[in-house]
Each structure stands twice: as structure tokens, then as C-alpha cells.
């Protein structure tokens, strides 16, 4: 059972957003802005994702800001998806355990 992963699905030791900061000077700053996403609840990430999408849809932001918003939106969407996948897996596990515990109705 991967309970710790399900409770905090944002742990991915292979990801390091600031890893290539020498190649892209703005990347380490963007990486620092993305680190807080890993501790967000589903609701927090979803609300901020809605705000990011709204801001991008209205336009008018400079290119650098738009790119940073896009990157943050992608990370927020990924966080939400991982939370939903974890919730789905837990529900499936409960469903299977309930099916095994129910007496046959035949």
C-alpha cells in the first residue's frame, strides 16, 4: 500500500525545478515559485489554478509574466490531477475491500 504517496502525492524525487538555472536565469526563480505547490491541498491548488487561467485569458500581461503564469498553472493542474488520482485509488481500494466483506446475495 502506498499510503504516504496517496496522502501527499506531490513527492517526486526526480523533479528539481531549479536544477538547470545556469541555462535559464529565470528558471531558479520560477522553481522557487513552484515549490509551495507541493504542500497545497486540492482545494488550494484548484482555486489558484482558476485564478491563473482567468488572468491568462484576460491577457495584457508581459511575456515573462505570462510564461511564469503558464508554468505555475501547469504545476497547479498537475498537483490537482495527482490529488484526484490518489483519491480515486483510495476509493477503488475501499470499494474492493467492501466487495470482499459483503456476503453473497444469491
Using left for φ > 0, alpha for ψ between -120 and 50, and beta otherwise, residue 42 falls in alpha
Asked if residue 18 has pLDDT above 70, the reply is no
* 34 close to 72: Cβ distance less than 8 angstroms: yes
Q: Look up the domain containing 47 and give its range.
A: 25-101
pLDDT tens digits, residue range 42-71?
999 999 999 999 999 999 999 999 999 999
C-alpha cell at 99: 466487495
Query: CB-based burial of residue 16 (10 Å sphere; 0-12 exposed, 13-18 middle, 19+ buried)?
Result: exposed
Tally of domains within the chain = 1
Most confident by average pLDDT, 13-17, 25-29, 48-52 = 48-52
Longest dimension (CA), the chain: 67
Residue 68 belongs to a domain: yes
Residue 8 belongs to a domain: no
Distances (CA, A) of 55 to 41, 58, 68, 71, 91: 21, 5, 12, 13, 34
Asked if residue 20 has pLDDT above 80, the reply is no
Q: Domain containing 82 — which CATH number? A: 1.10.287
Amino acid at each position: 500500500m502506498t499510503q504516504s504517496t496517496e496522502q501527499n502525492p506531490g513527492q517526486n524525487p526526480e523533479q528539481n525545478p531549479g536544477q538547470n538555472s545556469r541555462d535559464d536565469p529565470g528558471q531558479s526563480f520560477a522553481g522557487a515559485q513552484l515549490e509551495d505547490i507541493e504542500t497545497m491541498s486540492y482545494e488550494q491548488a484548484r482555486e489558484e489554478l482558476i485564478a491563473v487561467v482567468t488572468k491568462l485569458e484576460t491577457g495584457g500581461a508581459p511575456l515573462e509574466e505570462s510564461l511564469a503564469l503558464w508554468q505555475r498553472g501547469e504545476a497547479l493542474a498537475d498537483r490537482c490531477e495527482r490529488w484526484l488520482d490518489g483519491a480515486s485509488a483510495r476509493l477503488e481500494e475501499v470499494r474492493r475491500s467492501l466487495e470482499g466483506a459483503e456476503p453473497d446475495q444469491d
